[in-house]
Each structure stands twice: as C-alpha cells, then as structure tokens.
Amino acid sequence: MPKRAKRKRGLLVVISGPSGVGKSTVVRRLFKVYPKLLMSISSTTRTPRPGEIHGQHYDFITQEEFDLRVKQHKFLEWAKVHGSYYGTPRQYIEDELKQGEVVVLEVDVQGASSVKRLVESGDLKASVVFIFLIPPSVDILAFRLKKRKTEDEEVVNYRLRAAIAELQVMEKYDYIVVNDKVESAADKIKAIINVEKERTLVN
C-alpha cells in the first residue's frame, strides 16, 4: 500500500505588482471565491483611511512601535512605501505554515523580493509562490512602444524604461496575472494556488 500523501508544510502565496494595479481589490475577491485562505494582516504606520478597521485591514501602529518591532525581528519583511512603513508579521506566518495552511501576502515589489531572498538563503523554509499582477495596459504599452514612433521621445523613453524595469522584476515571479477583470484575475490566482498546493504534497 502506498504511504498516504501528507502535506509537508503550508503554502505562502505572495501577491505583488506595481502600485495602483488593484492588488487589494483582486485579493478581496480572491477571499470571496476561496474563503479557506488565510490573510496576513500587515502592520503599518500609515493613518487609516475611512472605513478601514484596525486589525482587519491593517494593524495600525505608531512609528515608535514599528521601529521596536523591526529591532525585535518581528517582521518577516518590511518596507517603506509612499512614505509609510509596512511590515509582515513573522510569527503568524510561521505558525500557520507549520499547520499546513495557505497564507496570502499582499506586498509591494520590495516586500516580494525580500521574501524571495529569505527563501533563497534558506531562512524561510516554506513552499512559496510568487504572483505578479499587471494591468492590461502594460501589455498594450509594450506592444505600442514597439510599433509606433509618434510620441514625444522623452515620454516614450520614460515609459520604455518603466516597462523594462517592470518586465525585469516580473521575470523573478512564478506567475504573471493580467488584471483585466477583477473576477477573472481572482479566478486565475485561485487556479494557481490549487496547482501549487499539489506541489507541496510529499509521500
């Protein structure tokens, strides 16, 4: 009789992408269609926006508290984004992964590369999948940049540089998902997670 397959460890799903691509909207939809997933709640020094709930959207903390947690190595990764600090709670992630859960992280590109470094150095022993969300306009932009030469040269160059920078970052990810429609982007991520879950099984 073959040994029953058992889950080696959980799965960490890192969702990132350029700011403004609609990551949080897609992630919100993902949790609707896949309620078994666990969401990591980041700590931030940013002030809450109307409707944001402490402990649900973010763990809103002071700069002093944030600095203390950095010193105490309480964050798996942290980064400064648009003038505020954001950090991923280490203990929560490690505990849930040990339990075999699937945990989702929604972070900026700096956060994703920090997690990647942790995996590569062996400091984070977990199955991790990196998903990069792009707006459909990046596709269109790349296509147009190749085709036409009518734009102001400076603008074209700026866009080209930005697109190239994004493409270089994209290469480091396991999957690239185009956020054409929120529903379909969330469905694609759900499918990716289901495939990746199978890869974490060992005999």
Residues that bind ligand 5GP (CB under 6 A): 19, 23, 42, 46, 77, 79, 81, 86-88, 106-108, 110-111
Nearby residues of 200 by Cβ (< 8 Å), 6 or more positions away: 7, 8, 9, 10, 11, 127
Q: What are the backbone dihedrals phi and psi of residue 61, each rounded to the nearest 5 degrees, phi first?
A: -130, 165
Report in angstroms how near the CB of residue 42 gets to ligand 5GP at its nearest: 3
Report the residue number, 34 or 60, with the smaller CB distance to ligand 5GP: 60
**The token pair that represents 176 in the structure block:** 């690239």
Helix, strand or coil, per DSSP, at residue 157: helix
Report the residue number, 133 or 193, with the smaller CB distance to ligand 5GP: 133
For 107, counting Cβ atoms within 10 Å of its Cβ (0-12 exposed, 13-18 middle, 19+ buried), the class is buried
Report in angstroms how near the CB of residue 111 gets to ligand 5GP at its nearest: 2
Instruction: In whole angstroms, give the CA distance from residue 174 to residue 193.
Output: 12
Closest Cα to residue 126, out of 95, 169, 154? Answer: 95
Report the residue number, 85 or 160, with the smaller CB distance to ligand 5GP: 85
Report in angstroms how near the CB of residue 110 gets to ligand 5GP at its nearest: 5
Sign for the CA dihedral angle at 42, 47, 50, 51 comes to: positive
Q: For residue 168, how far is the Cα from the chain centroid?
A: 16
Report the residue number, 10 or 17, with the smaller CB distance to ligand 5GP: 17
Report the residue number, 145 or 175, with the smaller CB distance to ligand 5GP: 175
